[in-house]
Amino acid sequence: MPRHESSRLKLSYGWLRGEDWWGDPVSSNFLKLDMLAHPYVLSMTEVQPPVNGTTIGDMYIVPSGALLAWDGHANELAVFVDTASDAGWIFCKPTKGVRARLANPASWVWFEGTAWLDESQDDTSAPPPLGSRYDATMSVGFEPEPGDTLMLLTIPEPMTLPDMAIGSLGRAASVPPSIYRLPIKRNGSDIGTILFSPTSVRATFDVSGNKVFASGDLLTITMPENASPGFENFSVTLRMLLQNNGG
Measured CA to CA, the distance from residue 179 to residue 228 in angstroms comes to 8
At 239 the pLDDT is: 93
Domains observed in the chain: 4-118 (no CATH), 133-242 (2.60.120)
Rg (CA), the chain: 21
Q: What is the pLDDT of residue 118?
A: 81
| Dist CA 77 CA 94 (whole Å) | 7
In the predicted model, is pLDDT for residue 63 greater than 90? no
**For residue 17, what are the contacts with CB-CB under 8 A and spacing of at least 6?**
none
Binning pLDDT at 50, 70 and 90, where does residue 107 land?
Answer: confident
b (16+ CB within 10 A) / e for 166-189: eebebebeeebeebbbbbbbbeee
Q: What is the pLDDT of residues 112-171, one digit of tens each?
A: 888 888 876 665 555 555 557 899 999 999 999 999 999 999 999 888 999 889 889 999
Question: Regarding predicted confidence, which is higher, 161 or 45?
Answer: 161
For the cut 50, the answer to whether the pLDDT of residue 247 exceeds it is no
